[in-house]
Structures are given as structure tokens and as C-alpha cells.
A = this chain, B = another copy of it.
Amino acid sequence: MPDSKKYDIILDALQQLLEDRTIQSISVSEIAQKAGMGKGSLYYYFPSKEAILDALIERSYEKTLQTAKNLASQTDIAPFTRMAMLFQACQNSSTAFLMQPETPISSAQDIAFLHQKYLTRLVSELKPDLTEIIKQGIENGEIHFDHPAALAEIVLIVIAVKLDNSLFPTSPEETAETLKGLIALLEKGTDIAPGTLNYLTFTAGK
């Protein structure tokens, strides 16, 4: 069993570099230097540069994802409250190291790629949990809708995409407007009480 501490040291190094640099502009040697080891050692722990990035994204999500799993099973809390908590958790985790530096020398390529990787995982991992929450809301009679899984995916996709300004860049106002529209559509489409979903606008407050 390899020293798992080294893995984290490498991940830390990349994360630190990523705070004000682009992935493509960061060389493997640089990561190694920041991690305080030779380049060869990196390849002892990871098969490729991409694998390091993947592992970092994985690690960054772990906490959020765990929170989501717990939320889904807390049936004593109201479904909407749990949804709110879930979105809050997402936002806190995602904005952390994904935001790009003030100096946008970046070729827009790799940023986009990074974000997308992040989003894909977020949606696919959270869908079951949100579906479960919605199902409970349906059973409670608080939500009226026939396709819980589909609803979960739709909401997640829109939220995830809109929360991340770099995928479809829009102004904050426009984002707020879209979120308001989504709320209106959800409230009308699922017969839930108007105003119940308002926390989403706060969430979008950036």
C-alpha cells in the first residue's frame, strides 16, 4: 500500500497552482516542483497529468457529494429545505477552486473543460439523491408531478449550468432572471405553493 499522504501532497500542489493558472499552462514539472518531488515521482503515483486533474476534481467533490447523500436520507426535514441545503452545498464546493484568475490569459479551452468535468459529475451524482427528495415530496403531497427523476435532472442541469458562469456566460441579472423563470415554471408545473422555491434566487446571488 503506497503512502496515501503523497497523493494528497500532489493534489494540493495542483490545486494551489490552479488558483491563478490554467491547466494547460501548468506543466507536470511545475506540479512536481510545487509538491517538492521529482517529475518521475508524480508518474509513480499517477499514470498521467489528466489523472491528477481527475483525482483533484474527485477529491473536491467528495465532501459535497457526501453531504448530498446524507441530506437525501434525512426524511425528518422538509423536502424543500433539503433541496435548498443541497444547492447551497453544491455552490460552496464548486466555486472554490474553479474560478479563474483575474488575468484571463487562458485560452478558454481548458477552463471550459475543467468546469464541464465538474458539472457532469455533479449532475450525475446528485440526480439520484434529488430524485429521492422529490419522491418524498410527492408522497407528502407537497409536490405534484409524475416524473420525479426527470424533474430532478432538469432542475440539476439548469441550475448547474447557470450557476457556472463560464459554460454559458451571462450577466448576473440574466442569471437571476432565468432562475426566476425556472422557479415560476416549477411552481406552476408541480403545483407547489408560490414562494416555496425562492431560496434559489439567493443561491444565484453569486
Bound complex: CA A112 to CA B57 (Å):
16
Cα A145 to Cα B188 in complex, Å, equals 10
Q: How far is the CA of A185 from the CA of B184 in the complex (A)?
A: 11
Given A157-B168, A158-B158, A168-B124, A189 and B178 contact (CB-CB distance below 8 Å): no
Contacts of A151 in B (CB 8 A): 181, 185
Number of copies: 2
A193 to chain B minimum Cβ distance, whole angstroms, is 15
Say yes or no for A177: interface residue by CB 8 A criterion: yes
Known interface pairs A168-B124, A182-B154, A189-B189. Does A149 touch B177 (Cβ–Cβ under 8 Å)?
yes
Contact mask A179-201 → B, CB, 8 Å, 1/0? 11110111011110000000000
Residue numbers in B under 8 Å from A182 (CB-CB) = 150, 154
Asked if residues A177 and B189 are in contact (CB atoms below 8 Å), the reply is: no
B157:A161 contact, CB within 8 angstroms? yes
- Assess the A185–B123 pair: CB atoms within 8 A: no
| Min CB gap A153→B, angstroms | 5
Whether B154 and A185, one on each chain, are in contact in the complex, defined by CB atoms closer than 8 angstroms, is yes
Given contacts A157-B157, A157-B168, 14 further A-B contacts (CB under 8 A): A112-B116, A112-B117, A116-B167, A120-B167, A145-B181, A147-B177, A147-B180, A147-B185, A150-B182, A151-B185, A153-B178, A154-B182, A157-B158, A185-B185
Can you give 20 A-B contacts (C-beta < 8 A)?
A: A112-B113, A116-B116, A145-B181, A145-B184, A147-B180, A147-B181, A147-B185, A149-B177, A149-B178, A150-B178, A150-B181, A150-B182, A150-B185, A153-B178, A153-B181, A157-B157, A185-B186, A185-B190, A188-B188, A189-B189
